[in-house]
Amino acid sequence: MKIICSICLAEIARNEAVSLAVCGHVFDLTCILHCLQVNKRCPLCQQDVFGTTQEQQLIRMYFSTDNSDEKTINQLKFKIKNMSTEMQQLHNQTKELKALTKKHTEVKQELERSRELITLLHEKYSNLKVDFSMAKLDLSKKSG
């Protein structure tokens, strides 16, 4: 839990927290001293502290804090960092996979073209075989 000074809106340093005796509102020491010099009222609820000495106005506060929030945040930060690394890896893998898929398509197309060429060559070969047989037949007729 962060304790915020309602005057400067910053987090109150651990040894700087004071509470106004009349109302209990908490500020940091520097801010409230500054405020009370200008106006002897609580900056939050306007309760009058006039007529009391400074010792009677302010109560020093010493909070016992634990840093469990900070711990959780650090754990989450660590998790997020790990997750982004994983995401990056996945992203790279996806990119590689895409490149491979593209290559696969290209190879498949080339294979298809080669098959067509082979079929064409087969046809040509068959035609040539027929031509050759005819020519042989012709030759044997002429010589016979």
**Site residues, Zn ion (CB under 5 A):** 5, 7-8, 23, 25, 28, 31, 42, 44-45
Residue 17 contacts residue 28 (beta carbons within 8 Å)? yes
* CB of residue 85 to Zn ion, shortest distance in Å: 40
Output 24 or 105, the one with its CB closest to Zn ion. Answer: 24
Output 8 or 107, the one with its CB closest to Zn ion. Answer: 8
In whole angstroms, what separates CA 100 from the centre of its chain? 26
Which is nearest to 19 in space by CA: 1, 3, 38?
Answer: 3
* CB of residue 94 to Zn ion, shortest distance in Å: 51
* CB of residue 40 to Zn ion, shortest distance in Å: 12
- Strand (E) positions, the chain? 17-20, 26-28, 58-60
Q: Please state the φ and ψ torsions of residue 13, each to the nearest 5 degrees.
A: -65, 150
Output 31 or 83, the one with its CB closest to Zn ion. Answer: 31
Output 36 or 42, the one with its CB closest to Zn ion. Answer: 42
Q: 30 CB contacts (<8 Å, ≥6 apart)?
A: 16
* CB of residue 1 to Zn ion, shortest distance in Å: 17
